Amino acid sequence: MANLFVVTGGAGFIGRNIVAALNERGEDDILIVDRLGTDEKWKNLLGLKFDDFIDIDDFRSGINAGALKDVKTVFHMGACSDTTERDADYLLDNNYAYSCDLCSWCVENGIRFIYASSAATYGDGSQGYGDDEAGLDDLRPLNMYGYSKQLFDLWAARNGMLDRIAGLKYFNVYGPYEDHKGDMRSVVHKAYGQILETGSVGLFKSCRSEYADGEQLRDFIHVGDAVAQTLWLHEHPEVSGIFNCGTGRARSWIDLARAVFAALGREPDIRFIDMPEHLRAKYQYFTEAHMEKIRARGFEHQPLSLEDGVRDYVVGHLAR
Distance of CA 105 to the CA centre of its chain: 23
Alpha-carbon gap, residue 220 to 172, rounded angstroms = 5
**pLDDT for the residue 67:** 73
User: What is the average pLDDT value for the chain, to the nearest integer?
Assistant: 95
The model's pLDDT over 230-273, given as tens digits with 9 standing for 90+, comes to 999 999 999 999 999 999 999 999 999 999 999 999 999 999 99
Is residue 33 helix, strand or coil? strand
Q: Shortest CA distance to 247 belongs to which of 176, 174, 189?
A: 174
Q: Where are the domains of the chain?
A: 4-173+221-247, 176-218+250-286+307-318
Structural class in CATH, domain 4-173+221-247: alpha beta
**pLDDT for the residue 151:** 97
**DSSP, residue by residue, 245-256:** ES-S--EEHHHH
Alpha-carbon gap, residue 257 to 267, rounded angstroms = 11
The fold of the 176-218+250-286+307-318 domain, in CATH, is UDP-galactose 4-epimerase; domain 1 (3.90.25)
**pLDDT for the residue 281:** 85
**pLDDT for the residue 85:** 82
Q: What's this model's pTM, rounded to 2 decimal places?
A: 0.95
Asked if residues 246 and 231 have their Cβ atoms less than 8 Å apart, the reply is: no
16 pLDDT higher than 60? yes
Alpha-carbon gap, residue 63 to 60, rounded angstroms = 5
**pLDDT for the residue 102:** 96
Strands (E) located in 141-284: 166-170, 172-174, 201-204, 217-218, 220-222, 241-245, 251-252, 270-273
Q: Percent of the chain, pLDDT > 70?
A: 100
Stronger pLDDT, 79 or 187, i.e. the higher one: 187
Same fold for the pair 4-173+221-247 and 176-218+250-286+307-318: no
103 pLDDT higher than 70? yes
44 pLDDT higher than 80? yes
Give buried/exposed letters for 20-54 (b at 16+ CB in 10 A, else e): bbbeeeebeebbbbbeeeeeebeebbeebebeebb
- Could you give the residue numbers annotated as active site? 145, 181
List the single range of 80-84, 108-112, 200-204 with lowest mean pLDDT: 80-84
**How far apart, in Å, are the Cα atoms of 295 and each of 62, 132, 290?**
37, 13, 10
1 pLDDT higher than 60? no
